[in-house]
Amino acid sequence: MFPLNLEFYLSLLENPLFRGLAGALGVITVISLAVLILIWAERKFVARLQHRYGPNRAGKYGILQTLADGLKLFLKEDILPEKAEKYAYTLAPILCFSLAMLPFVAVPVERNIVVANLNAGILFILAVASLSIIPVIMAGWSPNNKYNLIGGIRSAALMISYEIPAGLAVIGVLVLSGSLNMIDIVEAQRDGWFILPQFLGFIIFITVSFMESARPPFDLPEAESEIVQGWTTEYSSVKFALLMLGEYTHAVFTSVLIAILYFGGWMGPLFDSPFWLALKTLVIMLFLMWVRASVVRIRIDQMVSFGWKFLIPLSLLNILIAGAIKVF
Amino acid sequence: MSERVLLNLGPQHPSTHGVLRLVVELEGERVVNVTPVIGYLHRGFEKIAENRRYIQITPLTDKLDYVSSMANNMAYVKAVEELLGLEVPERAEYIRVIVLELQRIASHLLALGSIGNDLGMPFTLMMYTFRERETILDLFESLSGARLGYNYITIGGVMDDLPLGFTDFTLSFLRELRQKIEEYEDLVYDNEIFVKRTEGIGVLSPKDAINLGATGPVLRGSGVRRDIRKEDPYSIYHYFDWRIVTGKRGDCLSRISVWINEMKMSADIVEQAIENIPPGLFRAKVSRVVRPPEGEVYSRIESPRGELGFHIIGDGSTHPYRLKIRSPAFCNLSILPHLAKGVFIADLIAILGTLDPVFGEVDR
Amino acid sequence: MMSEEKKSENKIEKAEKRKEEKKDEIEEERLTIEDIAPAFPLIYRIAESGVESIYIQKCNKIWVEVKRENLLEFCSFLKENGFDHFSCILGVDRGEYFEVIYHIWSYIDRRMLSVRVKVPKDDPEVDSVVSIWRAADWHERETYDMFGIIFRGHPDLRRILLPDDFEGFPLRKDFKLEERSWL
């Protein structure tokens, strides 16, 4: 019934439906696995920075710890708060997870390996990334808990102050590469990574990605010492696992994006390979972890004024610099 | 006018340092009003003490401020000794000063570590400070056999003499501590966000600090140079060369700097004490049943958190007629509503962290 | 039987003798106003300002007794003369009456003045000193909580350590320690 030659299956991939399904499956598997390992790596790395051991019981060096935690979460009782808005409450984790996975379809890992090679890839990515605020607000509002609400409102209020500089910072890259296509952007870095001409843009973008993925020091929406767990306070069991996974995937995605936009994606010494992309992503993730362990949380008014009064003017300046480089 | 939200912070909350409930009136992110609700850890200590013998109360005092039990023991024991008119051998006084100052270091280390948590640097500062605190706990374990609740300072002296090697180990630890304190200073003062989050937040003017009854690092953080160890000297603090540490601006950062500098000062005192410790008895002869004469005494010491006073009324029997504890954390916490008007919710947590309440002592 | 009674009588006698001896010792050591006046001239004014009695325990520990009506006046007098640190309040159940003791420390003179006020049991009310020292706020609430002494003029006199629906005042001597029914 099923033909046994590979070419038949490859030809199936020409069909957009099959291609989409296979791509979705691939993305979810690879990213979930990567996230599992990265969470373990983060815990281990931060633990070493903090003079402790980190997970070391489940599996060799505790590498199965994330899996064990996930399993534990799946076995826990799924609590629905009595006065929660049921549909929004249930939909939020699903949306959060799927919206975190969605932008990966436009990310090329090699010149020819990409699920959807979009002409306006970067625009698609930015658009989907800004969509990810919706599940946060849903999760903040629906459980009828004040901590959730404050967390949700915080992230909605902050979103404006980081989305604009993010878009503006990317314009610098677009000016230099002259294309919206992700593959073209990487290929344009053949002669030199964009981090050199776009250093200012890189600084802005990495700051903004801290904010976007709500990682310390910008983890205001889930500031543990202030509002318990912020917008995820009322969630438990599978839903909490999905939210966590979605959040973390977001951080991974921004690292991948930085690697592609500023560090030449899959290009490396000797040969081009997705391996280089993975390595660069890992290094950026390690940087994020390092920052997490060494700074305290910024306050909300400081963050808003930082976004508006500092990042936006700076990113406008960055566009000027990019234009100047392009012209001269 | 924007709508106000009542937020219940606690009694179960990650950063209320125990079981404090704060009813916070919020206007957006701004705090309009804070009403602390305490008493979740109230154990009726003063009532229990009325039904216990004098000796039996010492272990109870361990549980007051459970992160600085030595200071509680000392405060109680000092009050009873004043009531008895008891002379304590000099060696015992030296040992007391050594353990009290080590306890102060341990307590400030804990406070410093937890302020890192409160400001949102989860566990980095805390794990570092706990590394040193652990050594002090080891030292105390070698003294008293316990790591929490020592019951070491007792009426007439201390429970046991210093074990072999204690002084050498303490000295080497203090040398190490000084280096580590430099690390903490890097992590606090050179951390721009940390400074931004604490500088100018929760400013307590010297006048208010005195009027509101602040004591300890909170008072000295406001620049008031007052310390019971100098003002109303007890034990043998006047033998040593040290000075009172103060902050400058009365904000959260000043209070944190007072902790850090006091640790250095305490290390100085311990070193001097170890250098000059005389041989002799470690405990005066005290009868098994302590029966102080009729009388009243109010005695205070400078605990890590401030002025810790015990008022004991003896009626000539083996039980105190009335025992009252003036706990520094209780008074310092009562300042919170005054400091937290119009600040952000994140600052509220920072201010609470620098007031450093311990709920065993607030609720008693 | 007889011998035991005798023994106990003897014991009591001995104890009383010991007490008397000790009292004598204390009385011998007792400081007078004149002893500390050179270093602390304010003591004369304190003595004149409607104080019932003065007992000088140590040269920096002075106990005074004040009538209930004069408390507020006396306290503001103290505040004006440098007694700025309000250390603590405690209530005592003396059997026939309550006693409220205020410990006030002067950061300038480095002396502690402890003010006693007798409060009758059938009318347990004193004036609040919160308007003078704001630090007294929670202390007065605690004393109210434990003794049921009402502080007139306190801005927010509620129970502080015990739950709002607690019955009785636990530090009074007639409070019975018994198992209470919990929810």
CATH number of the domain where residue C128 is located:
3.30.460.80
Highest mean pLDDT among A303-307, B230-234, C138-142: C138-142
- In a 10 Å sphere around its CB, with 0-12 CB exposed, 13-18 middle and 19+ buried, how is residue A35 labelled? buried
DSSP conformation letters of A55-88: --SSSGGGTTHHHHHHHHHHHS-----TTS-HHH
> What are the percentages of helix, strand and coil residues in chain B, rounded to 5?
50, 15, 35
- Rounded Cα distance, A49 and B124, in Å: 8
Predicted confidence (pLDDT) per residue in B183-227, tens digit: 888 888 888 888 888 888 888 888 888 888 888 888 888 888 888
- On the CB side of B194, CA atoms within 13 Å amount to 25
Interface test with B, best of C138, C143, C178 (most B CBs within 10 A): C138
Identify the three-state secondary structure at position B23: strand
Beta carbons of A297 and B349 less than 8 Å apart: no
B194 reaches A (C-beta below 8 A): yes
Nearest residue of chain A to residue B347 (CA atoms): A299
Give residue B172's pLDDT. 92
- Domain-located, residue B26: no
- Contact between C149 and C143 under an 8 Å Cβ cutoff? The reply is yes
B284 reaches A (C-beta below 8 A): no
- Domain-located, residue C161: no
- Rounded Cα distance, B66 and B305, in Å: 12
Least CB-CB distance to A295: which of B121, B127, B347?
Answer: B121
DSSP H/E element including B36: strand B30-37
- Rounded Cα distance, C150 and C145, in Å: 9
- Rounded Cα distance, A218 and A3, in Å: 53
Would the pLDDT of B147 be above 70? yes
- Contact between B200 and B207 under an 8 Å Cβ cutoff? The reply is no
Would the pLDDT of B40 be above 70? yes
From the CA of C127, how many Å to the nearest CA of chain B? 18
- Contact between B224 and B246 under an 8 Å Cβ cutoff? The reply is yes
DSSP conformation letters of C79-126: HHTT--EEEEEEEEE-SSEEEEEEEEEETTTTEEEEEEEEEETTS-EE
Least CB-CB distance to B123: which of A50, A146, A147?
Answer: A50
Q: How many CB atoms lie under 10 A from the CB of residue B304?
A: 29
Q: Are there at least 3 beta-carbon pairs closer than 8 Å between C and A?
A: no
Terminal Cα distance for chain A, rounded: 63
Beta carbons of C87 and B211 less than 8 Å apart: no
B122 reaches A (C-beta below 8 A): yes
Average pLDDT over every residue of B19-35: 87
- Contact between B61 and B75 under an 8 Å Cβ cutoff? The reply is yes
Here the tokens at position A231 are 């917008």
Q: Residues B72-76: contacts with CB within 8 Å, 24+ apart?
A: B72/B303, B72/B308, B72/B361, B73/B150, B73/B151, B73/B152, B73/B153, B73/B154, B74/B100, B74/B153, B74/B235, B74/B301, B75/B299, B75/B300, B75/B301, B75/B303, B75/B308, B75/B309, B75/B310, B76/B310
Would the pLDDT of C111 be above 80? yes
- Domain-located, residue B151: yes
Q: How many CB atoms lie under 10 A from the CB of residue C47?
A: 14
- Rounded Cα distance, B210 and C84, in Å: 7
Q: In this structure, what DSSP letter does residue C31 have?
A: B
Q: How many domains does chain B have?
A: 1
Residue ranges of chain C whose CB lies within 8 Å of a chain B CB: 15, 19, 22, 26, 57, 60-61, 63, 84-88, 90, 92-93, 101, 103, 105, 107, 110, 112, 114, 133-139, 142, 146, 159-163, 170-171, 177
Identify the three-state secondary structure at position A299: coil
Average pLDDT of chain B to the nearest whole number: 87
- Rounded Cα distance, B355 and C3, in Å: 62
Beta carbons of A293 and B124 less than 8 Å apart: yes
Amino acid letter for position A297: R
Confidence band of C1 (pLDDT split at 50, 70, 90): very low
Identify the three-state secondary structure at position B296: strand
Least CB-CB distance to A225: which of B8, B117, B344?
Answer: B117
- Domain-located, residue B216: yes
Interface test with C, best of B225, B294, B311 (most C CBs within 10 A): B311
* Close Cβ partners of B364 (under 8 Å, ≥ 6 residues apart): B42, B43, B44, B45, B46, B64, B325, B327, B330, C161
- Contact between C114 and C61 under an 8 Å Cβ cutoff? The reply is yes
- Domain-located, residue B209: yes
Strands B153-154 and C150-152: unpaired
Backbone dihedral angles phi then psi of residue C127, each to the nearest 5 degrees: -75, 145
Give residue C2's pLDDT. 47
- Domain-located, residue B5: no
Least CB-CB distance to A226: which of B8, B116, B349?
Answer: B349
Least CB-CB distance to C110: which of B46, B232, B307?
Answer: B232
A298 reaches B (C-beta below 8 A): yes
* Close Cβ partners of B265 (under 8 Å, ≥ 6 residues apart): B242, B243, B245
| Segments forming the whole domain that contains residue C99 | 29-152
Exposure letters B163-194 (e unless 16+ CB within 10 A, then b): eeebbeebeebbeebeebbeebeebbeebebb
Contacts of A217 in chain B (CB under 8 A): 120, 193
Q: How many CB atoms lie under 10 A from the CB of residue C72?
A: 18
Task: Using alpha carbons, select from A94, A248, A254 the residue that is nearest to residue A162.
Answer: A254
Beta carbons of A225 and B196 less than 8 Å apart: no
Here the tokens at position C171 are 């530090």
Identify the three-state secondary structure at position B89: coil
- Contact between A78 and A237 under an 8 Å Cβ cutoff? The reply is yes
Give the ranges where B147-191 is alpha helix by DSSP (H).
Answer: 166-189
DSSP H/E element including C152: strand C150-152
- Contact between A103 and A250 under an 8 Å Cβ cutoff? The reply is no
Q: In this structure, what DSSP letter does residue C180 have?
A: P
Would the pLDDT of B229 be above 60? yes
- Contact between B353 and B116 under an 8 Å Cβ cutoff? The reply is no
- Domain-located, residue B141: yes
Task: Using alpha carbons, select from B310, B360, B324 the residue that is nearest to residue B149.
Answer: B360
Here the tokens at position C97 are 């009456």
Positions in chain A whose pLDDT score sits under 70: 1-3
| Segments forming the whole domain that contains residue B321 | 43-327
Here the tokens at position B250 are 């009365």
Contacts of B347 in chain A (CB under 8 A): 299
Question: Chains that contact B by 3+ CB pairs under 8 Å?
Answer: A, C
- In a 10 Å sphere around its CB, with 0-12 CB exposed, 13-18 middle and 19+ buried, how is residue C77 labelled? middle
Contacts of A225 in chain B (CB under 8 A): 14-15, 117-120, 122, 349
In percent, the amount of chain B with pLDDT more than 70 equals 99
* Higher pLDDT among residues B114 and A115, named by residue: B114
- Rounded Cα distance, B36 and B23, in Å: 6
Q: How many CB atoms lie under 10 A from the CB of residue A294?
A: 19
From the CA of B260, how many Å to the nearest CA of chain A? 18
Give residue C23's pLDDT. 53
B336 reaches A (C-beta below 8 A): no
Beta carbons of A146 and B187 less than 8 Å apart: no
Nearest residue of chain A to residue B122 (CA atoms): A293
Nearest residue of chain B to residue A46 (CA atoms): B124
B142 reaches C (C-beta below 8 A): no
Question: In chain B, how long is the greatest CA-to-CA distance?
Answer: 72
Identify the three-state secondary structure at position C64: strand
Terminal Cα distance for chain B, rounded: 41
Identify the three-state secondary structure at position A166: helix
- Domain-located, residue B154: yes
- Domain-located, residue B277: yes
Q: How many domains does chain C have?
A: 1
Give residue C5's pLDDT. 57
Beta carbons of B193 and A217 less than 8 Å apart: yes
Confidence band of C153 (pLDDT split at 50, 70, 90): confident
CA angle B233, B64, C87 (to 5 degrees): 45
* Close Cβ partners of C122 (under 8 Å, ≥ 6 residues apart): none
Residue with tokens 């947590």: B349
Task: Using alpha carbons, select from C92, C18, C102 the residue that is nearest to residue B50.
Answer: C92
- Rounded Cα distance, A271 and A181, in Å: 22
Here the tokens at position C117 are 């006020």
Contacts of B364 in chain C (CB under 8 A): 161
Beta carbons of B298 and C114 less than 8 Å apart: yes
Task: Using alpha carbons, select from B136, B137, B150, B107 the residue that is nearest to residue B306.
Answer: B107
Question: Chains that contact C by 3+ CB pairs under 8 Å?
Answer: B
For B44, B90, C80, the CA distances from B51, given in Å and listed in that order, are 11, 32, 40
